[in-house]
């Protein structure tokens, strides 16, 4: 008799987005004629930029002709994509070899798959509130999960203490859901800690493109990170690839544990478990890193940032405390008057027709908070901001 993976029994029901959609569906059924303004899930509203669309079309044409047709591509990425990424890092002073860059179908896939590199006995450390995949993927892999709380006491940016227990450390900066961003000194503290302990940092940089000013976009901007970190990136929010699917993972050649080289192990993993990412998609993704692509995605990000400014203005006028919004596409707001997360969610839905995300869904320490996403259209965001302001000020 086959024994299924019993770790699935240890997963909590993923009630966050299910709970939201159930409540929104009930609301829709009761008020079919009323609009709903969605500031909830983190899907984007801007389309792919012209440079990407053009590259995708060209790659489709390549596949139509015998001379340019591509069958299987290298599992770890086509050279054009891998060097486009190294070029992007080089502009920020980070020197990578193309062999240190692995193409992926997105960060979510990688966050689960990468755990193949580590023994199940290695404990994970997650700063909470957190993107739910860190905890769930670790539990499915049978891993113990320890938590560090991110809250107002540490500006939502927890740091390691001498007695912090961790083998695998999940860091997300800019953070989903809090929007908080680690500075260089803080990341250096994590890098030194990981190197001292022989731990590995899984650095989720899905929102790096939203950073302004002199804050690190990559853990590899921090000296010493090449011997203790893996960076997982996504083009989903940076360049609107949520439905197109492409990301990349950086594993330095220098990263070794227990006499094993993690870069070599990941090559072995990818060549066993994948046959790469579609040639067409990789060509489109490489175009993101051209000068033209960068300029065009900056225009899209600007639209989201203007949404953030609009929402922050509304919250400021209502005296609501929040973090994020400036270097991240999320605003993490305290629910006013000690209201609970779900209670405030209901109020926003029923009184403002606005959907946000209850903070409690990102871990118990998110209770009392609500997350606003700025990925909606400017029109919806404007309407939502006006309604929230009117509701909270009356
Ligand atoms: N990491 C974080 C922090 C995210 O918020 C998300 C998506 O919302 C992802 C990873 C997943 O990105 P992808 O679409 O590349 O799977």
Q: How high is the pLDDT of residue 205?
A: 98
- End-to-end CA gap in the chain: 63
Report field, pTM of the whole predicted structure over 0.85: yes
Q: How high is the pLDDT of residue 13?
A: 74
Q: How high is the pLDDT of residue 286?
A: 98
Decide whether any atom of ligand 1 lies within 6 Å of the 247 Cβ: yes
Pairing of strands 229-234, 247-250: antiparallel
CA of 106 to the centre of ligand 1 (A): 7
Q: How high is the pLDDT of residue 348?
A: 97
Query: Is there a contact between 24 and 39 (Cβ–Cβ < 8 Å)?
Result: no
Q: How high is the pLDDT of residue 193?
A: 97
Decide whether any atom of ligand 1 lies within 6 Å of the 176 Cβ: yes
Query: Is there a contact between 330 and 179 (Cβ–Cβ < 8 Å)?
Result: yes
Nearest alpha carbon to residue 348 among 19, 27, 10 = 27
Decide whether any atom of ligand 1 lies within 6 Å of the 236 Cβ: yes
- Judging by beta carbons within 10 Å of its beta carbon (0-12, 13-18, 19+), is residue 303 exposed, middle or buried? middle
Would you state the structure tokens that stand for residue 327, as one six-digit string?
């270097």
In degrees, to the nearest 5, what angle opens at C-alpha 278 toward C-alphas 275 and 283? Answer: 130
**Ligand 1 nearest atom to the CA of residue 175, by list position:** 3
Decide whether any atom of ligand 1 lies within 6 Å of the 104 Cβ: no
Query: Is there a contact between 343 and 377 (Cβ–Cβ < 8 Å)?
Result: no
Percent of the chain as helix, strand, coil, to the nearest 5: 45, 15, 40
pLDDT digits (tens, 9 = 90+) for 372-393: 999 999 999 999 999 999 999 9
CA of 43 to the centre of ligand 1 (A): 10
Give every residue of the chain whose pLDDT is below 50, as ranges: none
Decide whether any atom of ligand 1 lies within 6 Å of the 381 Cβ: no
Q: How high is the pLDDT of residue 221?
A: 98
Decide whether any atom of ligand 1 lies within 6 Å of the 179 Cβ: no
Decide whether any atom of ligand 1 lies within 6 Å of the 282 Cβ: no
Give how far Cα 135 sits from Cα of 12, 68, 145, 168, 361, Å.
10, 43, 7, 12, 12
Q: How high is the pLDDT of residue 19?
A: 82
Which residues are registered as beta bridge partners of 356?
A: none
Would you state the structure tokens that stand for residue 313, as one six-digit string?
């203005």
Q: Which residue minimizes the CA distance to atom 3 of ligand 1? A: 176
Decide whether any atom of ligand 1 lies within 6 Å of the 108 Cβ: yes
Query: Is there a contact between 228 and 190 (Cβ–Cβ < 8 Å)?
Result: no
CA of 174 to the centre of ligand 1 (A): 12
CA of 350 to the centre of ligand 1 (A): 29
Q: Which residue minimizes the CA distance to atom 5 of ligand 1? A: 176
Quickly list DSSP for 67-124.
TT---S--TT--HHHHHHHHHHHHTTT----GGGEEEES-HHHHHHHGGGGS-TTSPE
CA distance 38 to 374: 9
Choosing from 16, 107, 172, 332 the residue with most ligand 1 atoms within 8 A of its CB, the one to mutate for a pocket test is 107
**Ligand 1 nearest atom to the CA of residue 131, by list position:** 3
Choosing from 108, 150, 209 the residue with most ligand 1 atoms within 8 A of its CB, the one to mutate for a pocket test is 108
CA distance 297 to 210: 11
Q: Which residue minimizes the CA distance to atom 10 of ligand 1? A: 107
Which residue reads 């991240």 in tokens? 328
**Ligand 1 nearest atom to the CA of residue 42, by list position:** 8
Give how far Cα 62 sits from Cα of 55, 56, 109, 282, Å.
10, 10, 27, 13
**Ligand 1 nearest atom to the CA of residue 106, by list position:** 15
């Amino acid at each position: 008799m086959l024994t299924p993976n019993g770790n699935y029994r240890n997963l909590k029901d993923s009630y966050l987005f299910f709970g939201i959609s159930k409540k929104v569906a009930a609301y829709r059924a009761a008020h079919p004629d009323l609009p709903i303004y969605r500031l909830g899930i983190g899907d984007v509203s801007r389309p792919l930029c012209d440079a990407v669309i053009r590259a995708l079309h060209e790659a489709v044409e390549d596949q139509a002709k015998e001379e340019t047709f591509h069958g299987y591509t290298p599992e770890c990425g086509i050279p054009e994509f891998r060097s486009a990424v190294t070029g992007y890092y080089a502009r920020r002073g980070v020197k990578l070899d193309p062999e240190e860059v692995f193409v992926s179908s997105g960060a979510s896939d990688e966050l689960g798959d990468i755990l193949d590199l580590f023994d199940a006995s290695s404990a994970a450390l997650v700063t909470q509130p957190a993107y739910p995949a860190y905890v769930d993927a670790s539990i499915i892999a049978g891993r113990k999960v320890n938590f560090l709380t991110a809250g107002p006491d540490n500006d939502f940016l927890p740091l390691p203490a001498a007695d912090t227990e961790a083998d695998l450390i999940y860091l997300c900066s800019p953070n989903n859901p809090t929007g908080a961003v680690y500075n260089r000194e803080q990341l250096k503290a994590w890098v030194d800690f990981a190197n001292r302990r022989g731990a590995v940092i899984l650095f989720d940089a899905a929102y790096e493109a939203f950073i302004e000013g002199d804050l690190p976009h990559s853990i590899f901007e921090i000296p010493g990170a090449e011997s203790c970190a893996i960076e997982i990136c996504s083009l989903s929010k940076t360049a609107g690839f949520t439905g197109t699917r492409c990301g990349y993972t950086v594993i330095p050649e220098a990263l070794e544990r227990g006499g094993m080289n993690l870069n070599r192990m990941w090559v072995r993993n990818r060549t066993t478990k994948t046959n790469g990412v579609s040639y067409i998609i990789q060509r489109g993704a490489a175009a993101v890193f051209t000068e033209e692509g960068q300029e065009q995605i900056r225009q899209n990000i600007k639209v989201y940032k203007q949404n953030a400014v609009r929402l922050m203005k509304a919250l400021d006028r209502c005296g609501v405390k929040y973090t994020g919004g400036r270097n991240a596409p999320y605003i993490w707001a305290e629910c006013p008057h000690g209201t609970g997360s779900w209670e405030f969610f209901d109020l926003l839905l029923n009184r403002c027709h606005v959907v946000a995300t209850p903070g409690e869904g990102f871990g118990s320490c998110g209770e009392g908070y609500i997350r606003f996403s700025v990925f909606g259209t400017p029109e919806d965001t404007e309407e939502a901001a006006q309604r929230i302001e009117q509701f909270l000020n009356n």
